Amino acid sequence: MSVSSKHPAYSERLADWAQMRDTHSGERAVKERGSRYLAPTSGMVLDGFGVGSTASRGYAAYLAYRGRASYPELVREAVQSMVGIIHAKPPIIELPAALEPMRERATLANESLEMLLRRITEEQLISGRAGLLLDAPTLEPIQARDAVPYIATYIAESIINWDAGGRDLPKPEALNLVVLNETEPVRTGDGFEWETEERYRVLVLGEVLENEESEGGSVYRVGVFTEDDSFTESAMASPVFRGKTLDRIPFVFANTKDIVPEPDAPPLLGLSNLSLTIYRGEADYRQSLYMQSQDTLVVIGGPVDEEANYRTGAGAAITLPIGGDAKYIGVDSQGLPEMRTALENDYARAQEKAGALLNETSRERESGDALRVRVAARTTTLRSIATTAAFALQEILRIAAVWVGANPDEVMVEPNVDFVQDSMTGKDLLDLMGAKGLGAPLSLESIHKIMRARGMTDNEFEDEVQEIEDEIDLDMIPKMSTDPAGPEAVGPEAADDEADDEAADDAAVDG
């Protein structure tokens, strides 16, 4: 049994993942793929391109053709923009005390859970898929007492095989097999050279050739194999952490809308295809511009000499017999405006696909509620990605809680799905207080929650009240009135007058 075998769904999606990875990496990666994304012209093929020689005229012409082309970095910009939108506000992460060290050190690279969640969403946007593996650190028993597991991440191309059993069965089957490609460069014996080491990590539940049920009581095992290794049972072992094994494979898939093993299509594949269309259009347009400026000299009536080397420009001379003639002919430029218009239209479509969610005009003309409705309608995919990433992280952390003996129900990851950055103004606050004064069923704590959600304060309500009580000289602090007319300042003199009035009223009652 070869551990490097691929799942059929993996082979089906691999080309899309490779294209997304290249188009996200940028112009250099796209151009390094050569004719995969930009085919040579028929003239270049006739001149020898593709016959194996890099010294042909066709190959040289293709290099110039590709070099003049411009690839738009639309995929990278879209990913960066969307990651920024999703993580504009931090997620809410609750952990049991035993897992608190993972909040700031969740991976072997010392990434925090918030940074890890950001990396997951980036991979979801690029390929539509990421994988999370929970592993136990290799420590001495004394060190392991206070240790916690760590999370390793895998890109879509590294998750080469899996098996979660059949569908529509009387009893649900668990994830029984995951194979991860961990091939990477390693330093050789002299310490300065590098070579690629092919390596595969095999995760199984119970027996390899059987599909266990989700509650079958089987034990999780793992083994690492090199390029020339076939699967052997002797290489498999059950990880033990704090004296416990696991009854499930601690691996979670994070697709764009679910955490099942079957991969989703990359969400930005349409933008990637359009970016490559623009790249090819740019190549043809630049080639046409170049050809238009490179007219061909035609000599009429001159000597027929195939080895004649004519020169043009200042200081050059062409000798012709009586009646001979010489002229330039060039490419007709009538099609250039059409090509330019087509490129402009493609760029406009690409910007729409890239998700230009908000602009200054929309902010000025739309109210906060109208803006939220419009953005919600256009960010369905982002909400799905953010929610799925948070759920996948929550699931792997709950497995970690079980492994360390904590309560998994104490783990909660809540993502940011509020993508509208509408700030609160003083007028908004006055309107809220005025509504409260007119009898609206609105508490001060509810008003404070609105203020906090819209960036006016970072404090909790109790902390805000405490800070107000701790202020020096409270009598000089402007106090918010429930009068719709607005707030009024209560100073020492006003307070003294009010006290005198109360004393006079008391004396009248006593009398």
**What separation in angstroms does the CA of 457 have from each of 424, 427, 461?**
10, 16, 10
- Closest by Cα among 105, 126, 135, 69 to 399: 135
- Closest by Cα among 99, 105, 104, 152 to 130: 152
| Contact call for residues 413 and 396 (beta carbons, < 8 A) | no
Per-residue pLDDT tens listing for the chain (511 residues):
688 999 999 999 999 999 999 999 999 999 999 999 999 999 899 988 887 777 888 899 999 999 999 999 999 999 998 898 899 889 999 999 999 999 999 999 999 999 999 999 999 999 999 999 999 887 555 455 568 899 999 999 999 999 987 665 556 678 999 999 999 998 887 778 899 999 999 999 988 877 776 666 789 999 999 877 788 888 899 998 888 899 999 999 999 999 999 999 999 999 999 999 999 999 888 888 877 766 677 777 766 666 666 666 666 677 777 777 877 776 666 677 877 888 888 888 787 777 643 343 444 444 555 545 445 545 678 889 999 999 999 999 999 999 999 999 999 999 988 776 556 677 888 888 888 888 888 898 888 888 877 778 888 888 888 888 777 555 555 554 445 454 444 444 544 555 555 555 555 545 4
Token readout for 443 is 């508490």
Residue with tokens 């990477």: 184
Query: Which sequence spans correspond to the domains of the chain?
Result: 295-329, 426-510
Letter for the amino acid at 92? I
- How many other β-carbons are positioned within 10 Å of the β-carbon of residue 169? 10
User: What pTM did the predictor assign?
Assistant: 0.75
Q: Is the dihedral of CA 9, 11, 12, 13 positive or negative?
A: positive
Q: Which helix (H) or strand (E) holds 105?
A: none
Residue positions counted in the chain: 511
Residue 349 CA to residue 319 CA, distance in Å, equals: 55
Residue 162 CA to residue 262 CA, distance in Å, equals: 9
| Contact call for residues 228 and 389 (beta carbons, < 8 A) | no
- Closest by Cα among 370, 381, 458, 460 to 420: 370
Q: Which helix (H) or strand (E) holds 184?
A: strand 184-187
| Contact call for residues 41 and 65 (beta carbons, < 8 A) | yes
How far is residue 58 CA from its own chain's centroid? 39
